[in-house]
Amino acid sequence: MRATKALIHIDRLKSNILMVREHLRKNKNVAICMPVKADAYGHGAVRIAEEAIRCGVDYLAVATVDEGLELRNAGISAPVLLFSQFLKEEAVETARARLIPFIGDAEAAELFAAAVASGGCSRLPVFLKIDTGMGRMGCRPEDAPALAAFIASFPTLEYAGTATHLAVSDSAEPRDIEYTGLQLTRFKSALDGIRGKGLSPGIVTAANTGATLYYPEAWFDMARPGILLYGYPPDITNSAEPRFSGPRFAVRPVMELESAVVAIKQVKRGESVSYGRTWIAEHDTYTGILPLGYGDGLPRGLSGKFSVIINGKSYPGVGRICMDQCMVDLGASPDIERFAAASVFGGEMPGALDAAEIARRTGTIPYEICCGITKRVPRVYTN
């Protein structure tokens, strides 16, 4: 196997799940749905799903029908929510795989109701999706009671749950806290309208990571924290708002990106390293070459802004990150053996970077860093 790999620390995943479950117990017993979309945020959907179910996660969720089929083909039988809209030609497969679609309009309900029958099933669960202010999938809150009744009218559909998604639950800005309040108010009044029609909204779910942490009033029957379970709480600093203060939630990054120093090279003062000659040695030194680049998902924008840990010591990256390689400055007298491992992010040694810090330095979010680790990088599961 190549030197560059994503170590997936299953022990950390387990402790994150247990921590979140403990946290959700503070109020009442709330079920957990673990999103494993985008190959489990880059961690490998099948293995993560299996471990999550073993840890007592109740539901899984995917974004695409193919992602759901991957889980089913691997023998995973747990309930799987389908967050995004299936295509017309995917409806029968969706039913056959017993994925539970989010339904946000009448046409989608009709399509799925017909697909259930032609897929050879008698009746399958669906969730009603209400757009309370995310501006994405879902019906308008005022249309929810009628759509709920429409769904319930199909003998092939079981109206099993009601969901919404929050746009700014991870922000401590006063106007964002107000907006989340408004979304929850709209959601609750839609639920009242549904109940007013004599229908049960089933499993009610609204909380992503931000709301799982900060809005117990958004927990309802099931939370859907994604990035939190992969080890990244939202980065909320300097908040005067009491709900956002208190101890930092001590989840641990599940993914550690590791590479190795596959060659050690002498570089003399005044010589340059990599494309663009952006780095020129100020002293005689040695560089280590890592077989890791933007082709593996290490953002090129991180050039000159990262370091790696080798044998417990931090070494700065130098020069442009290439597609397949990057270089670090090992200093004038390196005591590093060739082929030594280099931890790039997600290690737990002092000075280690995590995907959140890499994201800050490249103007993005840890989600994109983890999802962006490409398929060229083998996922290696460790305990």
Binding flag, residue 186, ligand PLP (CB under 6 A): no
Q: Choose, by CB under 6 A, the member of 17, 35, 187, 321 that binds ligand PLP.
A: 35
Binding flag, residue 208, ligand PLP (CB under 6 A): yes
- Of 83 and 306, which CB lies nearer to ligand PLP in the complex structure? 83
Tokens 């109740």 locate to 58
Tokens 């961690």 locate to 43
Q: Nearest CA to 331 among 259, 256, 261, 258?
A: 261
Binding flag, residue 23, ligand PLP (CB under 6 A): no
C-alpha–C-alpha distance, residues 364 and 343, integer Å? 21
- Of 35 and 319, which CB lies nearer to ligand PLP in the complex structure? 35
Q: Choose, by CB under 6 A, the member of 209, 285, 287, 362 that binds ligand PLP.
A: 209
Is the distance from CB of 230 to CB of 58 less than 8 angstroms? no
- Of 35 and 145, which CB lies nearer to ligand PLP in the complex structure? 35
Q: How far is the CB of 258 from ligand PLP (least distance, A)?
A: 24
Binding flag, residue 83, ligand PLP (CB under 6 A): yes
Active site residue 275: yes
- Of 6 and 228, which CB lies nearer to ligand PLP in the complex structure? 228
Q: How far is the CB of 63 from ligand PLP (least distance, A)?
A: 7
Active site residue 88: no
Q: Nearest CA to 163 among 146, 179, 181, 148?
A: 148
C-alpha–C-alpha distance, residues 371 and 382, integer Å? 19
Helix, strand or coil, per DSSP, at residue 295: helix
Binding flag, residue 224, ligand PLP (CB under 6 A): yes
User: Which of 5, 37, 214, 367 is an active site residue?
Assistant: 37
103 CB contacts (<8 Å, ≥6 apart)? Answer: 109, 112, 126, 127, 128, 129, 147, 151
- Note the residues at the interface with ligand PLP (CB under 6 A): 35, 83, 165, 208-209, 224-228
